Amino acid sequence: MSPIKRVAVTGATGLVGFPISNALLETKSFDVVALVRTVSVGTPRIQELNSKGAEGHSMLYDNETQFAEALQGVDAIVSTLSWSSIEAQGGHRAS
């Protein structure tokens, strides 16, 4: 099994995702792909993560094509999404 090197964090600028992203970056053991909603692109938090070496991607979380592109070469995913983050962009719950 190959080691985990490239980690994607969904909700990377959120209450839970931001400290997790920072912790991963501080170890200097991981390449962090910070996945955020489009409305979070210009926020200070994503700018801070990018300045520390994260690769930021904005997306709609219910867009499979965007997700697939952002996850190219990713070894692991840390999902910190809450339902409200998907609902806020017009997503729908499965019945």
Could you tell me which CATH class the domain 6-83 is placed in? alpha beta
Question: Which token pair is 36?
Answer: 């955020």
What whole-number distance in Å separates Cα of residue 29 and Cα of residue 3?
10
pTM of the entire predicted model: 0.84
pLDDT tens figures, 48-70: 999 999 999 998 888 889 889 99
pLDDT at 87: 58
Determine the average pLDDT of the residues in 62-91: 81
Question: Is pLDDT of 28 > 70?
Answer: yes
- Tell me the domain boundaries of the chain: 6-83
